[in-house]
Every structure is written in structure tokens, then in C-alpha cells.
Structure 1
Amino acid sequence: MISIITPVYNGERFIREAVSSVEAQTCENWEWIIVNDGSTDGTAEILECLDDPRIQVVHQQNLGVSAARNVGLDLAKGKYITFLDADDLLPANALSARADFLDAFPDVDIVNAGVHVTSDGKLLRRYKPDLKKGPLLERLARLEPGVFFGVLYMIRREKLGDHRFSRDLSHSEDLVFFLTLAHDAGLNYGAIRDTVYEYRLQENSAMSDVDGLESGYLGLIRLSVNMPRISDSCLTTQRQRVQRILFRSWLRIFRPDRALLALYKIRRACVNQG
């Protein structure tokens, strides 16, 4: 019934816990496609020791998270598809709660849910989804926080068609993927209160992280302005929110010069593409 897709690169510290969380699911009717994206640590050896017939391991050279997810999408056979990053966890009801919702509401194409954000086992915050059902496109384009939290969506496979993740983006590739899908497939959104995902914060370089964030959001703007089903007022809201996000992100790491440059790049992206 459910296909889970996980890209992993050098995940030997975390992948065993991810495996335990999936194998502990109350729903047992799943397949799990794990794509080892050219790991250089002990990840491959750990994956090769897995003996659950529902788990399919694919090894490839290091091509990035989007390419790895695309391999999973090409192989997935489930009625529903969801994603799990290798350093995150699924609570025991994560699959059943979302699949039951999609079974009960055939008018819903994609389901959101609650998330626990943790660090070193400590709960930092709870993400609560917007429970209002309806068209996803403009709500996602406006970057409404209640309708999107990374890749935790569960979606009907029939809605995917040949849509795949962009390999040109290192950040916001998931947002761009789902926005394109919402536009082209006219996705109807739904959500449940249940917590179905544990997102575990990892240490990253602040500078490279904001650089990637900026690149991803600029790509989102360029994409959105060329989508005819997104209204001008929605594009304006999106631009204002991206401006706030990037400006504050650069100031947080004491780079006011990059904050101002980001505002200039956003204006250029709108003018050049609009």
C-alpha cells in the first residue's frame, strides 16, 4: 500500500534508528526504497545487512538528494508515497494514520500532519498543520507555514505522473517539487493532527546553509512567476515572505551586506521572469 523513499549519504550514525522506526510501524503493508547516494562511511555495509524483504536498497554514485529521491520514485509501486530522511524517525502510527485518512477522503490527494522537531533527543518545538482541506497550490505558493514542513507529505502515487525533484537545487527542492505538482496536478490538500514525523536537527555550516536557502528561494520565485494558475496577489505575498526570510537569515549570521543583496536578487528575479 505505501512506498517510503529514503536517500542516504554517510548516514551510519543514524540509519539504524531510522530502520527501527520503520520496522516498528503499526501498518505492515509497506515497501521501503533506500538509495545509498555514494556514501563513503559504513552506510553501505549497514544497509547490506538488512534482511527485511520489504526493504529495497539501491547503491549509486554521489548525485545528490534529489537524484536519490528520483530513483525511489521511479521504483515505487505503492498506492501512496511518502519520504523519510535518513537522520529522521517515524512514530509508530506514521504510516497508518495518513493512509487511513487518504482512504477515508478520496477527494484529498496529499496529506500533511504534525511534526516533533528535536535535537539530541530533546523536543524543541511541535509543528501543527493547518487542518483545512482544499486546493494546495496558492497556499503553498504563499508559503503558509501550516501547509508545508519538508518532505513528510503522503501523496497518491497516481498524482505524480512523471514529476521528479530538480537536481539543480540543494535547498527548497522539496518545496519546488510539491509546488510544481500542486500546479500541474491540481492537488487537493488535507491534514491530520497526529504527529507522524520526528525531524532531528543536525549541525550545519550557517554560511553555506543560508547560501543554499537563498538559491532555493530564488528558484522558487522564478518558477512561481511563470505558473499561470498562481495569482498576482499570491506572488506578491510570496515575494514579501521570501524577503523577510532571507533578510533575517543573513542578519542572524551578521551579514547585512548579503541581506541587502538578497533583496536586490529577489527584485531582479521578479522583473526578469515576470
Structure 2
Amino acid sequence: MNILISVVIPTYNRANIITDAIDSVLKQTYQNFEILIIDDGSADNTENIIKEIQDQRIKYIYQENSGPAKARNNGIKHSKGEYIVFLDSDDLWHHELLEKHIKILNTNSNIGMVSNHSLYKTFDGQYIRKKTCQAKNNKEYLQYILTEPDKAYPGPSTTMFKRECFEKVGYFDETLNFCEDWDLCFRVALFYEFHCINGTLTYVRVHQNSLSRTREVEKFRNSYLKFLQKAFENTSLLQEALYHFALNKHNLFSCLIKCKLLNIKNKAYSNALWSIGSWALYKSRDSFVARKNLLESLGYSHTKIFNLKFLMALLLSHFPLFMLNTYEKLKKGSGRAY
């Protein structure tokens, strides 16, 4: 059966690079797709660039600037495919991504979403890191998406969903400026199995100034903490999901899940605040905001003080800015990442 796939590409002022993303879709080995370009209020000539591409499968939709969550939701509402996948206009796909994803979804009716590993680079080709989905089952996925999201979710351009997932759990939360994709995947994983393809099929091109302003870090903090609050406010549903996807469904295991949930919650908040503090320190150079979040992180998990990366960030947040600059130069010289 030749199932239609809807490829949703939200974009904002990316006229100079969006054709790269579109080309990576047009070159897919699986060709039964539609492409929905959701222009989130671009001020450049994105519309003209899109309309120059001669392919009837491409649809251009303009909306007032409202953020990526609303753009993706707009794409879902206008889509016709049984499967829906998102591609950021900065990113590129391996030519077999659609074929490999649809093969997994077609073979198991219980699977609701499929992901793959991703490679992060700068626009000039410098390697940054590789994100791999390390969860082996839904129990691990749910825990990782809360406590260490990068281990569950390699990025927005990596995951294909069945349309029924959105009918079951709803769309992206438009009140979240960040983390809206984590929030959606968490909700989907409560009801559907997931599968991660063991291969790098997505190439993410990173803007070096991403999340560099203190204002953006504050939005990130608010969104991250709201995502966790939403996830943990329905404890019974999370417990039920962890129990449902467990291999051992003995009553004792159910009790252990209830006992462990508080530890998961503390770890989730501690890691979230550590991540926020690191962004504030290394990106926005705001030592005060960094220190505030790192100390708050320590309140949720005292053992963080024994983590060398955490301890270094906390120490640097107390020192003058020139010491942070010196530390980063030494890091670059040694070729080590944060």
C-alpha cells in the first residue's frame, strides 16, 4: 500500500537555505509525499523562493509570526497524509529516511512514532555532536524524555508520527516557546510504542548564536519547567504507562514504580535546571542567572556536586567573565566538548 506521508517544514526567514531542506525531501527514495511549507511570518523572499520550485506536491502556507509550535500545528491541520513528519528548514535528510521510517510503522500497529539518530554541525561543516536515541523500550523512553531528553529524542527533524497519535493526545502545546516537541513525544509515548532506527538519517545545521540571549534562556527555563510540571501533574497516568510497558508486571514492580517516581521527578528537575544554568553560563554569559539555576539544581540532587562538569560550571559562575573565556579557549585547544 502506497501510503501518503505529509512532510511539514516550518520556516522563518530562511529563504537562503530552505531549498536545501526541500531538495533533501525531493530526493527521497520513497516518493509518495506532500510537502507543507509553513511560513511563520518571514520578512524575506521565502514565498518567492518556494513558488519557483516546480513540484505540485509542495504547498506554501503563510501565517503571522506565532512560533514553531503553532506552525507545526498548522501543518498538521492542512496535511492529508496518514503519517506526518517534521523537518526544520535548517536541516537535511538522508535520502532513505522516509522509506526506512514508513517500513517500521507499516510492520507494527502498536508503534506510534519512529526516530533516528542525528548529526549536529555548524553551517561551515564543523562537527558539534551526534545525538543518539538510547532508550530500548517505552519504559526507558518515558524516563529519559523527562530526565535526559537527548537520550530519547534526537531532534524535531528525526521523528515520524502516525496521524492517530495527534487525534489521541492532541497537538503541540502552543504555550511553550521551547520543549514543545519533548512535551508531545512524552504524551505520545504514554499510549504508543516507539522505535528508533539505528542509523544517522538527519543532519542538523546549528546557528552558533542559538539561545544566546538571557531573555531566550528565561523562556527556555519557563518552558522546560512547565513541560515537567505538566508531565508530573498526572502521576497516575505516568505510573500506569510505566507499568504497562514493563516486562515484569508483578504487583511488586508496580509498587517499585510508585516508589521510584519521586526519584525520577527530582532527577528531571535537577537536570533541567543544570541544562538551563549551562545555557546561561556558556551561551548568554550571564553568571548570575547561571548560578541561580545551578544552585537550584543542587537542591533537587545533592550528589550533583560530585559531577565534575556540574562542579566546573558552578565554580565558573562565581568567577569573572575572563576566566570563563580562558576556560573555553583551553577546552577548544584540547578538542573536548562541554
User: What is the TM-score when the length of structure 2 is the normalising length?
Assistant: 0.72
1:131 CA displacement: 5.8
- Counterpart for residue 143 of structure 2: 138
- Counterpart for residue 35 of structure 2: 32
Q: 1:232 to 1:98 in 2, by over 3 A?
A: same
- Counterpart for residue 271 of structure 1: none
AA paired with 2:28? Q
Q: Within 5 A, what are the aligned runs for 1:1-274? A: 1-119=4-122, 120-130=124-134, 132-135=136-139, 136-151=141-156, 152-161=158-167, 163-183=170-190, 186-204=191-209, 206-207=212-213, 208-228=215-235, 229-230=237-238, 231-252=261-282, 253-262=284-293
Contact kept in structure 2, 1:150 and 1:175, CA below 8 Å: no
- Counterpart for residue 251 of structure 2: none
Indicate the structure (1 or 2) with the bigger Cα radius of gyration. Answer: 2
Which of the two has greater helix per residue? 2
Classify the secondary structure of the residue corresponding to 1:218.
helix
Classify the secondary structure of the residue corresponding to 2:37.
strand
Q: Deviations over 1:157-207 (max 9, x none)?
A: 112116122222221121122223334xx1212111122211100132512
- Counterpart for residue 272 of structure 1: none
Classify the secondary structure of the residue corresponding to 2:230.
helix
Is 31-40 or 230-239 further displaced after alignment? 230-239
Distance 1:9 1:145 in 2: 24
Contact kept in structure 1, 2:72 and 2:172, CA below 8 Å: yes
1:134 CA displacement: 3.0
1:263 CA displacement: 5.6
Contact kept in structure 2, 1:33 and 1:76, CA below 8 Å: yes
User: What is the TM-score when the length of structure 1 is the normalising length?
Assistant: 0.88
- Counterpart for residue 332 of structure 2: none
Q: Which runs of 5+ in 1 are unaligned?
A: 269-274
Distance 2:223 2:179 in 1: 5
Contact kept in structure 2, 1:131 and 1:190, CA below 8 Å: no
Q: 1:265 to 1:123 in 2, by over 3 A?
A: closer
Distance 1:122 1:58 in 2: 33
Structure number with higher relative contact order (C-alpha < 8 Å, ≥ 6 residues apart): 1
Which 4+ runs in 1 deviate beyond 4 A? 263-268
1:56 CA displacement: 1.4
Is 47-56 or 201-210 further displaced after alignment? 201-210
Q: Which runs of 5+ in 2 are unaligned?
A: 239-260, 300-338
% identity of equivalent residues: 25
AA paired with 2:181? D
Distance 1:199 1:124 in 2: 10
- Counterpart for residue 247 of structure 2: none
Classify the secondary structure of the residue corresponding to 1:160.
helix
Classify the secondary structure of the residue corresponding to 1:72.
helix
AA paired with 1:86? S
Residue correspondences, number: 267
1:236 CA displacement: 1.8
Q: 1:206 to 1:45 in 2, by over 3 A?
A: same
CA RMSD of aligned residues (A): 2.4
1:69 CA displacement: 0.7
Distance 1:66 1:218 in 2: 17
Is 211-220 or 25-34 further displaced after alignment? 211-220
Contact kept in structure 1, 2:110 and 2:192, CA below 8 Å: no
1:264 CA displacement: 7.6
Contact kept in structure 2, 1:97 and 1:194, CA below 8 Å: no
Contact kept in structure 2, 1:163 and 1:181, CA below 8 Å: no
